[in-house]
Amino acid sequence: METLELPANIGILERGPAGATIHAHSAGSAISRSVFSDIPALQTLFSVDGRILACVHNSGVSVYDAKSFVPVLQIHTPGTVAVSFSTTGRFLCVLQKASNLGAGKEKNLTVWEVSSGAIAYDCFQKAFSKADWPTIQFSADDGIACRAVSNEVHFFFPPHFTTHHVRLRVEQVAKCKLSPCHHPVIASFAPTNQKQPGKVSLYDVPSAGTQELVKQEPKVQKSIFRVQDIDFRWASDGSAVLIIASSDVDMTNQSYFGETNLHYARVDGRVNCKVSLDKEGAVHEASWSPNSDEFVVVYGVMPAKATIFSALTCEPIYQLGSGPHNTVRWNPFGHMICLAGFGNLPGDLRFYDKKADGKYKLTGFARAACSVRSCYCKFIYFCVLNVDNGFKIWRYNGELLYHAERNKLYEATWQPVAAGTYKSRPISPGTVRKEDGSGLKGTGDTSGPRKPPPYVPPHGSSGTGSFSLAHAPPEESKPGKYRTSRSTEPFPFTATSGPPGATFADSKASKNAAKNAKKRAAAKAKKGMGAT
């Protein structure tokens, strides 16, 4: 078996009943148990570059250097609900449970400077929503921070949170999302009310030193009907945003689980539209490539379709086929994709590699039954199991590299690394695993799905229908250039026969009819000659 393309001593953090532990992994197996072992933790969070680690426990938060495992900050914040690092790891946001004293009596949201241990900013937050966390967002260089309040978005300019701030007037704002770049744009959402539809707006961030309350026209604005909640998905370069609009009730009565739509908006205003999807059903996932040049959407009733769209035009350019999928994961370099189906789906994994001509080639597949969480690390895919507790590591061709079994496992994740630590590499020759199981060198897990059998209707001649909502017919599951699932041409029906007296404009006369017509014409001509 060839050497595994996994960097030496890469860290995997796992959290169980005893606490958090980091293992060093290489060549598909655990090297040793790290000195960072069984640290009390109810939650864990790495900084974006993996340099520091925050562990939440009963008495507060402990921040560790993730390389030396030495504590760098101890925060006494009992009842901590959530934590988040700023983009560079300079600041740590901590949210505690709001007490019964009410708003204004305590400041339960604090921003700590990690190096000094000082509080840089604090305020009161009444409610907590995991989907809307973090409440305070930071730009790519931590030079700008923002927070949405009633009818306003507050901007701060660290480290001067209190002395330099600007308020942007945004009517009825319920949610906002800062783009992840050095010169960010803010996307805001105002829900539907009785007078107007939901509204999404993109604003430039006001400059420091301007007047305290700013009113400005949005760069881009979009009205969305029948929407109760919004999920913003920014491209990594901040050039465009995907907007997943959802409602608990489907006014068309087509779905019991509500309605979802996907919209697209470029910051320059050139494209602002609803993403055209050619299959009815929910939008299960929408994910940007790390290169910001395209995005993939998984949508429709099962078996769901997965389609690649251009980031410049929002037009479909490639489809990855249909299957039991509701999850998308890109590798950090943007040239590999994993489609997966978690939750009530069987856990099928399909790996694709992007070629120089823009086509995506299937490199492997596997099955991760009962998985609840997943992530990419370089070329390796990682899943956490919920029933058979533990975690598994797969290669990009579906080969099982490592399986760690645990009695109880609450969390497991890769330790992040700084951007640029590793370079993009093509897949190794001879490692592509075909759908019939051939073409794979070495040993590994072969429990993944084989090539699907030919499609048989539920009431086929065999008497034992094999129809499944989770599996598409073979011709629909293959990747290829984009093609719509429904033909826009009229149904190609040509009538050649029918009941007596029926006429068909497009039908062709039979040979006998043509022969009889010829005879009648000849007889008529002969009769005419006799008359003369």
Task: Please write down the HEC assignment for all residues of 186-231.
Answer: EEEEECCCCCCCEEEEEEECCCCCCCCEECCCCCEEEEECCCCEEE
Q: How far is CA 111 from CA 46, 121, 175, 297, in A?
A: 16, 5, 20, 35
- Domain-embedded: residue 477: yes
Which of 142-151, 330-339, 387-396, 478-487 has the least mean pLDDT? 478-487
- Cβ neighbours of 292 (radius 10 Å): 17
Q: What is the Cα Rg of the chain in Å?
A: 30
Q: Which two tokens stand for residue 339?
A: 């489609």
- Cβ neighbours of 68 (radius 10 Å): 10
Instruction: Name the burial class of residue 101, with classes exposed (0-12), middle (13-18) and buried (19+) by CB atoms within 10 angstroms of its CB.
Output: exposed
- Domain-embedded: residue 25: no
- Domain-embedded: residue 354: yes
Question: Binning pLDDT at 50, 70 and 90, where does residue 114 land?
Answer: very high
- For 446, residues 6+ apart whose C-beta sits below 8 A from its C-beta are 437
pTM: 0.76
Mean pLDDT, residues 357-381 taken together: 74
- Domain-embedded: residue 49: no
Between CA 178 and CA 378 the distance in angstroms is: 27
Mean pLDDT, residues 369-397 taken together: 71
Q: What's the pLDDT score for residue 492? A: 37
Between CA 412 and CA 415 the distance in angstroms is: 10
pLDDT at 472 over 80: no
To the nearest whole number, what is the mean pLDDT of the chain? 77
- With CA atoms as reference, report the closest residue to 25 among 43, 4, 41, 46: 4
pLDDT at 487 over 50: no
Question: Binning pLDDT at 50, 70 and 90, where does residue 455 land?
Answer: very low
Between CA 111 and CA 82 the distance in angstroms is: 12
Classify each residue of 70-96 as buried b or exposed e, where b means 16 or more C-beta atoms within 10 Å of its C-beta.
eeebebebeebbbbbbbbbbbbbbbbb
Query: What pLDDT digit, counting tens, does each position of 261-280 carry?
Result: 899 999 988 888 899 888 88
Q: What's the pLDDT score for residue 510? A: 58
Q: What's the pLDDT score for residue 296? A: 93
Report the side by side order of strands in the sheet with 175-178.
175-178, 185-190, 198-204, 220-224
Between CA 165 and CA 157 the distance in angstroms is: 7
- Cβ neighbours of 209 (radius 10 Å): 8
Question: Binning pLDDT at 50, 70 and 90, where does residue 131 land?
Answer: confident
Question: Binning pLDDT at 50, 70 and 90, where does residue 435 land?
Answer: low
- Domain-embedded: residue 63: no
More confident residue, 463 or 328: 328
Q: How far is CA 128 from CA 70, 82, 108, 125, 372, in A?
A: 31, 9, 11, 8, 23
With H, G, I as helix, E, B as strand and everything else as coil, classify residue 524.
Answer: helix
With H, G, I as helix, E, B as strand and everything else as coil, classify residue 168.
Answer: strand
Question: Binning pLDDT at 50, 70 and 90, where does residue 436 land?
Answer: low
Between CA 500 and CA 512 the distance in angstroms is: 16
Angle ∠(381,342,314) on CA atoms, nearest 5? 80
Report strand pairing: 160-169 vs 213-214.
parallel
Q: Which two tokens stand for residue 45?
A: 């969070």
User: Are residues 87 and 180 in contact, defined by beta-carbon separation less than 8 angstroms?
Assistant: yes
With H, G, I as helix, E, B as strand and everything else as coil, classify residue 518.
Answer: helix
Beta-bridge partner residues of 200: 189, 222
- Structural domain that includes position 354: 286-418+431-449+468-487
More confident residue, 514 or 107: 107
Q: What's the pLDDT score for residue 343? A: 77
- Domain-embedded: residue 93: no
Classify each residue of 167-180 as buried b or exposed e, where b means 16 or more C-beta atoms within 10 Å of its C-beta.
bbebeebbbbbbbb
Q: What's the pLDDT score for residue 61? A: 94
Query: What pLDDT digit, counting tens, does each position of 281-315 carry?
Result: 889 999 999 999 999 999 988 888 999 999 998 99
- Please state whether 300 falls in left (phi above 0), alpha (psi between -120 and 50) or beta: left
User: Are residues 110 and 92 in contact, defined by beta-carbon separation less than 8 angstroms?
Assistant: no
- Domain-embedded: residue 85: no
More confident residue, 230 or 5: 230
pLDDT at 491 over 50: no
Question: Binning pLDDT at 50, 70 and 90, where does residue 89 land?
Answer: very high
- Domain-embedded: residue 181: no
Select the highest-mean-pLDDT range: 138-142, 204-208, 429-433. 138-142
Q: How many domains does the chain have?
A: 1
